[in-house]
Structure 1
């Protein structure tokens, strides 16, 4: 956490210096990351505007299910697009969700008992 705060402070100091007109050098010798191999799945960023209360509800639901909001929304989109959902896959998803809910209830009971 301290490293993140130090990096954030350094980034903010750099941004302020550049915004103030300070020169900076571009390192064209830096290593360029490799592209994914041919045929690898490509993820596309699709911005979606949500009211803040709906966004908070999505984040809360995702946290309760133990997934990221992106993974939760991606699952919803996949389910809506895929009309031929395999019943076994759907059952596994339901069982996973039930297990996460049971784990959350168990954790809540332990917190309440403490």
Structure 2
């Protein structure tokens, strides 16, 4: 049997660099040389397989991304999302078919 671990693939230093642990959304952005506009530049689905890859790619991938953009835009326009965890604490990840954080990820919503 051949298997792979998406959690581990997101932490490969050879692919993501020495700062793989840092939250850097700009990894998925690229700037157009002439216009200077920034746009979303998705990674290869075999390199970052959160929605699987090849002929068995997730059928809901495009819908999930569209919904995520709508929710993020509407929430961040009015509110600031602040982690509500103790300083220095790390979330505990639970492995499974899909990965999740043990006991969720508590946040506070602060109106702008």
TM-score normalised by structure 1 residue count? 0.31
Structure with the higher fraction of residues in strand conformation: 2
Larger Rg: 1
Structure with the higher fraction of residues in helix conformation: 1
